[in-house]
Amino acid sequence: MSSTPKQIGKTKFSVKKILLLIAVVLVMLFSLAPVLWQLLTSFKVNDDIAAVPTVYFPTRFTFSHYIELFTRRPFWRYIFNSAFVSITSTALALAIGAPAAYALARLRPWGERFILASILIVTLFPGILLFLGLLEIIQALRLGNNYLALIIPYTAINLPLTILVLKSFFEQLPKDLEDSARVDGYNTLQLLWQIVLPMTLPALVTTGILTFIFAWNEFIFALTFMTREELKTIPVAAAQLGGATVFEIPYGAIASATVIGTLPLVLLVLFFQRRIVQGLTAGAVKG
């Protein structure tokens, strides 16, 4: 009789674990279903794509859609454009944001609260609200069809978030280490470059990946500021893919373009997975 409550408790616990596992699997399927659909569509033949009823899991596979991307359009050029703009804007955001965040966290400049409030307010504005103002500036400076037309706005939009995230990490570093370095003769720049930044590498990686993903996926600015074919980025090129006729929608080519555009982000996150986890959890516990 005494073992009955323990058995009931074990049964309830196992039921909860099973229900939790089922819920996790359902959420994963719901989240990954669009990705899986695009991936399968990119390998379907055109007959299976247009078939009624819908062919969910094709039996015939083809690489013609991927080959078509690089033969009919300069897709390598689109990849280069997206990579160059994203990497450059990310590097600039970190190069400007890290010293600014350190100054706010340690040097305590005059008007610190006002500066932080201004940065926080800027982060609340969606980027689309800046579109008309940026368009006027781009036209006045004649930066249309120039990489700077995307690099400068991407850097400016990502800079407030970069400063806020890095500032919180700098504040949690032990100040005694910095004081010891100053005794050894380090100036502020040497202290930041040789001691502080290596200690906050997970935060830099996490922030850099967030800014990179934004720049890689951005569409509205790239669509408006870049009208020349050889300067388009992957999102714009994928949206403007056309078929053999005006009435044809190349679903296979569009799916292939989205897969190619998503693959670098997936590889980037997988490669820096540990750094991202460290960066997301480092600020959760003090001490």
Residues of the chain with pLDDT under 50: 1, 9, 284-287
Q: Is 111 exposed, middle or buried (0-12, 13-18, 19+ CB in 10 A)?
A: exposed
pLDDT in tens, 190-222: 888 888 888 888 888 888 998 999 999 999 999
72-282: what fold? MetI-like fold (1.10.3720)
Q: What is the model's pLDDT at position 145?
A: 92
Q: What is the model's pLDDT at position 199?
A: 84
Q: What is the model's pLDDT at position 107?
A: 79
Domain ranges of the chain: 3-49, 72-282
Q: What is the model's pLDDT at position 279?
A: 60
Phi-psi sector, 157: left (phi>0), alpha (psi -120 to 50), beta: alpha
**pTM attached to this predicted model:** 0.83
CB 162 within 8 A of CB 97: yes
Q: What is the model's pLDDT at position 287?
A: 43
Residue type, 153: P
